[in-house]
Amino acid sequence: MKGANMNIANDIKEKLHEIDWDFTGSSATKGIHSIHPYPAKFIPEIPRTILDALPVPEGTAVLDPFCGSGTTLVEAQSKGYPTVGVDLNPIACLISKVKTNTLPSDFVNIAEECIGRAKKNNNEINKEIPNVNHWFKVDIQHAISVLVSEIDKVEHETTRNGLRLALSSIIVRVSNQESDTRYAAIEKNVTKENVFSYFLVACQKLSQYLGENLFENKLSTQIINKSILEVTPSDIKKPIGMVITSPPYPNAYEYWLYHKYRMWWLGYDPNEVKTSEIGARAHYFKKNHQTIDDFKLQIDNVMELLTKVVVSSGYICFVVGRSIIHGQHYDNSKIIEDLALKHNLSVVAIIDRNIAKHRKSFNLSHAKIKKETLLILQKM
């Protein structure tokens, strides 16, 4: 029996190494994955291919402890697996909730009703947002404010989440911010009417991709809006058979910054996210800054949690790049490999892949990183 298991493991390893993990020409901004901007998106081919290549133990769920825009969750759900997603960022959780649920057939009609009421709403702008006049024209501020007010009156949670996500998706477009990856204020030819028209188009797009027949099995999804470092095994309500994730790593992306004003407008506090975000550039360039040892400790804690919630023979898959901190290069895949061995996980495969050249970031040092590593681990 032991020999048979060894043969199966070798077959899986060989199969994994035969796959071209570069997925040249793939895109993370097509179909359902295009409904909201998000930095450093997983291309869907990665979780999709992992799920095709590795067996998920029967009766278990797929977990992404850094779920971001929900790519792993959507791909797992489309293959018939229940899912669990965790993220500190409330915008990430909103995207993941919306992408893993179906919207009602009258969703666009409800959006039009919200717009109609918002246009008649002459209330004062009721958001206290830092530096808001620098980033948003006054008439744009009013349009966003009244839309938020009307959306929040919608009682049905899934519908309300969809409307909030549609509005979130256009915030940068109607702001003075140059683009999602360029944090500079410029003059734009955008009016109050554009806010309403862009919002409606975003709702129509959501309805197109999240119609009632998207997920025939109505599989359950649990989204936890919490730092993974604060999650306990009891928070995760399903046995986990597969983990597929790309953790934030030091000095790579600042997810909170991409969504800073989206969070303010929707009533979240981006400063709370900034303070607790793993790997955020600010943590490594302040007085008494964090070091790579802080990252090792954080991932060690994550690994400890994963070994508690993943069932025997379940897989834990990481996609991670290297970091450049104060000019020094760090191999994050080696850090994860060493921690895996510490937690008695078997290393099934370590595979390098090339990163698409078009991927953009606020952090120019990350733009120099051309490769990332896929680590596939197994709990024995």
Tell me how far apart the alpha carbons of residues 308 and 353 are, in angstroms, rounded to a whole number: 29
Tell me how far apart the alpha carbons of residues 41 and 246 are, in angstroms, rounded to a whole number: 9
CATH H-level superfamily of 2-100+218-379: Vaccinia Virus protein VP39 (3.40.50.150)
Q: pLDDT by residue (tens digit) across 125-134?
A: 877 899 999 9
Torsion of CA 285, 286, 287, 290, to 10 degrees: -70
Q: pLDDT by residue (tens digit) across 297-330?
A: 999 999 999 999 999 999 999 999 888 877 788 8
Sign of CA pseudo-dihedral 134, 135, 137, 140: negative
Q: pLDDT by residue (tens digit) across 140-163?
A: 999 999 999 999 999 999 999 999
Report DSSP letters for 68-119, one per residue: TTSHHHHHHHHTT--EEEEES-HHHHHHHHHHTSPPPTTHHHHHHHHHHHHH
Q: pLDDT by residue (tens digit) across 39-96?
A: 878 899 999 999 999 999 999 999 999 999 999 999 999 999 999 999 999 999 999 9
E runs forming strands in the chain? 61-64, 83-87, 177-179, 182-185, 221-225, 240-245, 310-321, 323-325, 328-330, 345-354, 371-379
Residue ranges covered by each domain of the chain: 2-100+218-379, 107-209
